[in-house]
Amino acid sequence: MDDVGVRDFDFLMGTWSVSHRRLKGRLAGSSTWEEFDGTTSAYKVMGGQGNIDDNVVSLPGGSYRALTLRAFDSKTRLWSIWWLDARMPHALDPPVIGSFENGVGTFYADDVFEGRPIRVRFRWTRTDTASPGWEQAFSPDGGATWETNWVMAFTRTGA
């Protein structure tokens, strides 16, 4: 297997403490953020062509668990990323699909939010540091404008 791209998420393998910041109202003109903590444990699967992270998200109203599944396509050199939320265990979000360039991973999907079509963007930054970052943004206009609505900062707690 060719290593180009398949090792993009190696920085995330291990256990992490996560600081979350999330807009209270998405695509609603809100500027009020809520902050909460969480944890992530990430490990490789499928002989290294995929990875999973198990998340505890400690929202102010109560904690829940979720899972991220990532799979690398060695032909296209693209990652697909799915989110499975324990609060809705029968619904798998559409995958965001993309790749890394110069240490920044950018991934997109078309989805629906509160009944209207949106474009979703995940972005991984600072992947070469001890504190990588992730953000989610929504676009109601096909990607012309973006609202960042969720930001996470990771601090490693174990290998």
Give the pLDDT of residue 3.
74
Query: Residue 5 domain-assigned?
Result: no
pLDDT band at 2, cuts 50/70/90?
Answer: low
Query: Which carries the bigger pLDDT value, residue 13 or residue 159?
Result: 13
pLDDT band at 158, cuts 50/70/90?
Answer: confident
pLDDT over 60 at 1, yes or no: no
Number of domain units in the chain: 1
pLDDT over 90 at 93, yes or no: no
Long-range contacts at 28-35 (CB < 8 A, ≥ 24 apart): 34/60
Tokens representing 83 are 């989110």
Query: Residue 2 domain-assigned?
Result: no
Query: Residue 42 domain-assigned?
Result: yes
- CATH code of residue 111: 2.40.128.20
What is the total residue count of the chain? 159
pLDDT band at 4, cuts 50/70/90?
Answer: confident
Strand boundaries in 2-146, DSSP class E? 14-23, 33-45, 50-59, 62-73, 78-85, 96-101, 104-113, 116-125, 133-139
Over pLDDT 90: what percentage of the chain? 92
Are the CB atoms for 121 and 96 separated by under 8 Å?
A: yes
Query: Residue 1 domain-assigned?
Result: no
Query: Residue 114 domain-assigned?
Result: yes
- Residue 4 gets which letter from DSSP? T
Query: Residue 3 domain-assigned?
Result: no
pLDDT per residue over 11-27, tens digit each? 999 999 999 999 999 99
Query: Residue 18 domain-assigned?
Result: yes
What is the span of the domain harbouring residue 41?
10-158
Query: Residue 100 domain-assigned?
Result: yes
pLDDT per residue over 123-141, tens digit each? 999 998 889 999 999 999 9
CB atoms near residue 39 (< 10 Å): 18
